[in-house]
Amino acid sequence: MFRSIVLGLAAVVVSATTAFAQAAPAAPAQAAAAPNPFVFPGDAGVILNFVKADKTADFEMVLGKAKEALAKSEKPERKAQAAGWKVFKATEAGPGGNVIYVFVIDPAAKSAEYSVGNILVEGFGAEGQTLYKTYSDAFGTPAIGALLHLTKVVDLGK
Amino acid sequence: MLRWIALGLLAVQAAPPTSAQPPNTAQPPAPAQQAVAAPAPRVFASDYGLVLNFIKPDKTKDFEASIGKLKEALQKSPKPERKEQAASWRVFKAVEAATAGNVLYVFVLDPPVKGADYTVSTILAEAFPNEAQVLYKQYADSYGAGQNIVNLKLLSALGK
């Protein structure tokens, strides 16, 4: 039997819009103040995205463009990011009828920055800005992505 | 701006609460009760499984010890599916703190073995029948706020 429950999860969360704004180059003093949440210095990362039920097509379209941007990038780190980045859709419904999309980054490309906004702008210039607005608008409530920076404890098969 | 907030995550448990979360009792059931009280198998029918485990901060060593026994149980099992499960089951610890100071451990099942039962208590009891009660109490007592189980379907591998 399936049953819905609500559990509290505290995580580093960043709004889609804020994340993009934050991803702009920071002044040196700011850079020292806080690490970029879209960098995963550990072994892996997970980002939980809560998307409006009527905006899933938009969200998936933009992710397709992000994939294209990664594929056509000449930066080696973008290729490394793509290789370990998978997008999943949860079978379970999210809060408020939102659809949960999960980015699984395993392994994380060290020092690479996983902001979708930056990847889109890097790949498509001004069009990337428009795509990013579509992406941001697809987020439901909470209009945030929950980021988990993960360190491997044990691989049960090794 | 980075913000730490308590986020309500709605998830659907793939099994009834009695098996989705460690049971409160550590007493071994009498034989007649075992059939009734046995947890429903925790099976993942998806491409990928995530289990978020919220562990008391002062019980992380106990939890990790339990995971060590789980690994041992999977490896010594004569059942082929247990070996398969082990091969794709990894345990991560989040840098971020969870609510109420709990520590978040994430089980990643990539991919889950179709039809295999992932109930930790069952796996421990299979391998260590004489220690099952003690091991399971240690495991169950380490939980601060239960588990979230998320079944995932692959939408896109960005590198393919």
Q: Does A104 touch chain B (CB under 8 A)?
A: yes
The answer to the question of residue B157 being in a domain is no
Residue A13: the pLDDT is 52
Out of A40-44, A50-54, A128-132, B11-15, least confident range: B11-15
Q: What is the CATH number of the domain that holds B123?
A: 3.30.70.100
The answer to the question of residue B83 being in a domain is yes
Q: How far apart are CA A118 and CA B95, in angstroms?
A: 24
Residues shown for chain B: 160
Q: Which of residues 6-65 of A touch B (CB under 8 A)?
A: 6-14, 18, 22, 34, 37, 42-44, 46, 48, 60, 63-64
Torsion of CA A154, B152, B12, B107, to 10 degrees: 0
Q: Which of residues 59-88 of B touch A (CB under 8 A)?
A: 64, 67-68, 70-71, 74, 83, 85-88
Structure tokens at B157: 């591998």
Mean pLDDT value across chain A: 83
The answer to the question of residue B91 being in a domain is yes
The answer to the question of residue B20 being in a domain is no
Q: Does A156 touch chain B (CB under 8 A)?
A: yes
CB contact under 8 A, A157 and B89: yes
pLDDT for residue A17 is more than 90: no
The answer to the question of residue B160 being in a domain is no
The model's pLDDT over A128-148, given as tens digits with 9 standing for 90+, comes to 999 999 999 999 977 767 889
The total domain count for chain B is 1
Domains defined for chain A, CATH in brackets:
13-21+38-150 (3.30.70)
Provide ipTM, 2 decimals.
Answer: 0.78
**Which range of residues forms the domain containing residue B79?**
42-152
The model's pLDDT over B3-60, given as tens digits with 9 standing for 90+, comes to 222 333 433 332 222 333 443 333 333 344 444 456 678 899 899 999 999 999 999 9
Residue B41: the pLDDT is 83
Residue B15: the pLDDT is 28
The answer to the question of residue B27 being in a domain is no
B47: closest chain A residue by CA: A88
pLDDT for residue A73 is more than 90: yes
